[in-house]
A = this chain, B = another copy of it.
Amino acid sequence: MRMPLRQEVHNLLERGRDRQLRLAVTGLSQAGKTAFLTSLVNQLRHAGVEAKLDLLPAAREGRLLGAQRLNQPDLGVPRFPYDPGMAALRDTPPRWPEPTRGISELRLQLRYRPARRGWLTPETAHLTLDLFDYPGEWLLDLPLLQHDFASWSESQTHHQGPQRQALFTRWLEGVKTLDPAATADEAQLAELADAYAEGLKRAKQAGFSDLQPGRFLLPGELEGAPVLQFFPLPALSLSPEALAALPADSVYATLSERFRYYQQQVVRPFYREHFRRFDRQIILVDVLGALNAGPERFEDLSRALRQLMKSFDYGQRSLLSRLFAPRIDRLAIAATKADHVTPEQHPALVRLLEALLAEPLKDLRFANVPVKALSLAAIRATEAREVSHEGKRSPALRGTTLDGEEVLVYPGDVPTSLPSPAFWTSQGFDFPSFRPMATPQEALAHIRMDAALEWLIGDKLA
């Protein structure tokens, strides 16, 4: 189909302007970021050959010709370890790729044939795709910018269930006799901060997600630095004026100072240097893992997601729009590990994800940020089967557990709305952790990676 010249020039300019796309992938730890990015790169490299990408029109129509890795522009950011990830998946037995820590980056150049040809349209065109992967935990620190130390302390000691409190026993014991007005003893503060960080790490291991300050979990080069040696002071009985009047070497003033430094030197730079440059974003959520772990951790995931989504709420008065004016123009939210439930449960999984995110989704739609919720499995670990029992056929999954045991299971029904107390007591949910399937093909088997790609980059390949 020939286009009018004016339209064609417009498209040409558009394509010029759009030659680069910065796509960020995030999620709380264990959400499947590394598997997602490894699969994404793998699918694009094998598009047009073995990769099954029917839901991505450019691939279905044979117009996506392939992808090549290029040198990334940011020399100081670790490169996303695609090759080690593929090597792990091709090992015998296959292993999941090692999780990344901190931010990493990979640049691909996609070659494709434009869908609509005109006088000026070239035979083939290029799209430079910069992929970023960063810990969702970093986004949990955004709300911390809105607080001063006293209000943050207040916010951190609310909503804590008994299971989570039990993980902080050592810190709680120490902090309850700490006098905010006393002269700070740096060894004692270091010890208490260590106990607090230990509590956060144990909470993370136990599956909790709403964990602040996020860098306490991945300290990197700040390990042992005073900026990571603070913690909330619960139940401050002094008035704000009395607190502000405490001397600079008091416990309260010392912790406040470190909190401010953390805000300014750790949290802000991430938003300034990386976040506001992203064009599009996918957030991965391990809904099934939280469902598996029980009510307190499911509620915690819900709270963490509400916090995390604040980074994407561009409402006029949002903190982020005032601070950094990001430009993300498309957002995807994906429930990962969809292959851990039987296929007929996938629609329920998406509805549960939407229920979990009901409030933030409303805000995003109000702020006119296009957003899509979906379920996917970046790298399939199971095959869908049917089993007959007493003449009745029912769906099941066949896979290999991490211990190497082959199993055939039915993990349970996914609730389509936030689970009620009755769900937890009467029904529950239980699935094993599977290891990846062996991949004899070059392209990795997946569920709906093509749908995610279509939403995230499809329009740029038109």
A186 within 8 A of B: yes
Most chain B CB within a 10 A radius of its CB, from A69, A71, A75, A76: A75
User: DSSP majority for the A interface?
Assistant: mixed
- Among B71, B81, B83, B249, the residue within 8 A (CB) of A71 is B249
B75 pairs with A226, CB closer than 8 A: yes
Chain B residues lying within 8 Å of A184, measured Cβ to Cβ, are 71
Tell me, in angstroms, the Cα distance from A187 to B226 when the chains sit together: 38
Tell me, in angstroms, the Cα distance from A104 to B102 when the chains sit together: 22
Assess A224 versus B75: contact at CB under 8 Å? Given A70-B186, A186-B69.
no
Tell me, in angstroms, the Cα distance from A112 to B104 when the chains sit together: 51
Chain B residues lying within 8 Å of A75, measured Cβ to Cβ, are 225-227, 257-258, 261, 265
Closest B residue to A80 by CB, please name it: B224
* CB neighbors of B among A208-239 (8 A): 220-227, 229
A438 within 8 A of B: no
Chain B residues lying within 8 Å of A227, measured Cβ to Cβ, are 75-76
Tell me, in angstroms, the Cα distance from A83 to B224 when the chains sit together: 12
Chain B residues lying within 8 Å of A76, measured Cβ to Cβ, are 222, 225, 227, 261, 265
Tell me, in angstroms, the Cα distance from A71 to B70 when the chains sit together: 46
B102 pairs with A254, CB closer than 8 A: no
B186 pairs with A71, CB closer than 8 A: yes
A460 within 8 A of B: no
Chain B residues lying within 8 Å of A204, measured Cβ to Cβ, are none
- Counted per complex, copies of this chain come to 2
- Among B71, B102, B229, the residue within 8 A (CB) of A221 is B102
Tell me, in angstroms, the Cα distance from A265 to B77 when the chains sit together: 12
Tell me, in angstroms, the Cα distance from A77 to B225 when the chains sit together: 5
Chain B residues lying within 8 Å of A71, measured Cβ to Cβ, are 184, 186, 226, 249, 254
* CB neighbors of B among A248-272 (8 A): 249, 254, 257-258, 261, 265
Closest B residue to A71 by CB, please name it: B186
A83 pairs with B187, CB closer than 8 A: yes
Tell me, in angstroms, the Cα distance from A189 to B170 when the chains sit together: 48
- A131 to B: closest C-beta gap in Å: 14
Closest B residue to A185 by CB, please name it: B69
- A45 to B: closest C-beta gap in Å: 12
- A76 to B: closest C-beta gap in Å: 5
Tell me, in angstroms, the Cα distance from A77 to B223 when the chains sit together: 9
Tell me, in angstroms, the Cα distance from A254 to B78 when the chains sit together: 16
Tell me, in angstroms, the Cα distance from A190 to B72 when the chains sit together: 12
A79 pairs with B220, CB closer than 8 A: no
- A305 to B: closest C-beta gap in Å: 27
B79 pairs with A224, CB closer than 8 A: yes
Assess A223 versus B257: contact at CB under 8 Å? Given A69-B187, A70-B186, A184-B71.
no
- A48 to B: closest C-beta gap in Å: 21
Residue-by-residue, is A419-449 near B (CB-CB < 8 Å gives 1, otherwise 0)? 0000000000000000000000000000000
Closest B residue to A104 by CB, please name it: B224
- Among B79, B102, B249, the residue within 8 A (CB) of A190 is B79
Tell me, in angstroms, the Cα distance from A83 to B75 when the chains sit together: 37
Closest B residue to A257 by CB, please name it: B75
* CB neighbors of B among A162-215 (8 A): 184, 186-187, 190
A226 pairs with B79, CB closer than 8 A: yes
Query: Could you give 25 example pairs across A and B, Cβ below 8 Å?
Result: A71-B184, A71-B186, A71-B226, A72-B226, A74-B226, A75-B225, A75-B226, A75-B227, A75-B257, A75-B258, A75-B261, A76-B227, A76-B261, A76-B265, A78-B221, A78-B222, A78-B223, A78-B224, A78-B225, A79-B224, A81-B224, A102-B221, A104-B224, A220-B220, A221-B221
Beyond the given A79-B190, A79-B224, please list 6 additional residue pairs across the A-B interface where CB-CB is below 8 A.
A71-B249, A74-B226, A75-B261, A75-B265, A79-B186, A102-B221
Going nearest first, the 5 A-B pairs with the smallest beta carbon separation are A78-B224, A75-B227, A75-B261, A75-B226, A78-B225
